[in-house]
Amino acid sequence: MDHFVVHGGKKLSGSIAVNTSKNAAVALVMGALINRGKTTLRNVPRIEEVERLIEVLKSIGVKITREGRDVCIIPPKRISLKNIDRVAAMRTRSIIFLLPVLARFLKKYKIPQSGGCRLGARSVAPHAYALESFGIDVVATRTDFSVHARLSLPQRTVVLYESGDTVTENVLFAAAQIPGRTEIHMASANYMVQDVCFFLQKLGVKITGIGTTRLVVEGCADINRDVTYEVSEDPIEAMLFIATAITTRSKLTITRCPIDFLELELEKLRRMGLIFDVSNTYKARNGKTRLVDITIYPSHLKALREKIYGRPFPGINIDNVPFFAPIAAVAQGRTLIHDWVYENRSIYFTELSRLGVSVTLLDPHRVYIEGPTKLMPAEMMSPPALRPAAIILVAMLGAKGTSMLRNVYQINRGYENLTERLRSIGAGVELVNDTCSV
């Protein structure tokens, strides 16, 4: 069990680069199964979520090699789920990508129920409804997803029951494998969905409408190409470093930020009084995503009169909403944060009160945060969810004194070498485990 020891209150300085996206990487690793050829994914983050998926894929016969941050994937001609690594599968939400990608191998199959963050009910219903249109029937039991696949219906229009990122990606993987035209309405246009679209285009799948809520896909009867694709940068990690700079009142440059997925967050922060510079845009290594460097300056922030809430792209990213909690804690006035997507995530925001933050829980989705707060050190257990755990770390970095955040597996799921990278900009943070003395 790993823990963070945080010596907070230190000013940060210099620059830190944004890593590639967790949410894109996990989708691409799984989506590579629809390709009979060799898929090489470059710049795949070394995080727990990815490593668990690699364990699962190896256990079902997929040949995977990793050299540094590059992952090479070659699916077998046949797949058997007899020896699937259930322990690894049940530790990740991303196992749900197996629902459509196994359809070219098997007619009937069961995969373990997904895990990941504990954020209340996360229904498989939108996936089941959407995949029905392709002849993929999904039934959820207590422990498994039971699937009957008949990949069929050469032309279809799919209206998503929920405009979710993962469900959009799953529909894209299904549509890519079937010849004919698929229209996807109410699609997510978020960063990881765009990465999946760019990847599928390299496989020969024709896709129009990328970046909109209506996608048109021309699938292929057989995908067999040797391709290389570079994962794009993570706007959620960029927001972690933005929030850290603000909370520690530091001047910090964050490089390789995917600006199209941060514009509204920055506009809200500008209206709160944040002083920052944005460089000219340049292209990511995938040749598609627009990047910038952002320099944050120490600023006196005031709470917005309007609530902070997430929306599907192009709104504030739903996973960036929690980072406004430590930001609101150092701003003058009262901020209403409405995290409407997950039943329980706002409840975890109340954990910030142990660090001195004035948090009032209004209901399972809304909190008031009153600032400015003199952040105080504390010893705490990490919440069982990635973003709530990350915002506690952010607040601890701003709290003068020594804090401990115990059991940080959830943070390791989404962020690579975080302690080393934070130390490179002056943060006092150590990764220790139960065999170490503190």
Instruction: Note the pLDDT tens digit of each residue in 222-274.
Output: 999 999 999 999 999 999 999 999 999 999 999 999 999 999 999 999 999 99
- Are the beta carbons of 208 and 197 closer than 8 angstroms? no
Q: Kindly write down the DSSP assignment for every residue of 302-333, as one continuous string.
A: B--SSPEE--STTSS-TTTGGGHHHHHHTSBE
Residue 434: is its pLDDT beyond 80?
A: no
- Beta-carbon neighbour count of residue 36 at 10 Å? 15
- Are the beta carbons of 166 and 125 closer than 8 angstroms? no
- Tell me how many degrees the CA angle 78-81-85 measures, rounded to the nearest 5: 130
Same fold across 2-19+233-433 and 22-230: yes
Stated as kind and residue range, the H or E segment containing 157 is strand 156-159
The per-residue b/e assignment along 316-351, b for 16 or more CB within 10 angstroms, e otherwise, is bbbbbbbbbbbbbbbbeeebbbbbebbebbbbbbeb
pLDDT tens, 33-48?
A: 999 999 999 999 999 8
Q: Which CATH superfamily groups domain 22-230?
A: Enolpyruvate transferase domain (3.65.10.10)
CA distance 401 to 389: 19
CA distance 181 to 218: 5
pLDDT tens, 150-197?
A: 877 667 899 999 889 999 999 999 999 998 899 999 999 999 999 999
pLDDT tens, 124-134?
A: 889 999 999 89
Residue 341: is its pLDDT beyond 90?
A: no
pLDDT tens, 50-106?
A: 999 999 999 999 999 999 999 999 999 999 999 999 999 988 889 999 999 999 999
Half-sphere exposure of 87 (CA within 13 A, CB side): 1
Q: Give the model's pLDDT for residue 119.
A: 35
Q: Give the model's pLDDT for residue 154.
A: 65
One of 3.30.2270.10, 3.40.50.1220, 3.40.190.10, 3.65.10.10 is the CATH number of 2-19+233-433, namely 3.65.10.10
pLDDT tens, 399-412?
A: 999 999 999 988 98
pTM of the model: 0.93
Q: Give the model's pLDDT for residue 117.
A: 46
pLDDT tens, 272-309?
A: 999 999 999 999 999 999 999 999 999 999 999 999 99
The residues spanned by each domain of the chain are 2-19+233-433, 22-230
Residue 355: is its pLDDT beyond 90?
A: yes
Residue 118: is its pLDDT beyond 50?
A: no
For the segment 419-426, the average pLDDT, to the nearest whole number, is: 97
pLDDT band at 121 (very low <50, low <70, confident <90, very high): very low
Q: Give the model's pLDDT for residue 115.
A: 61
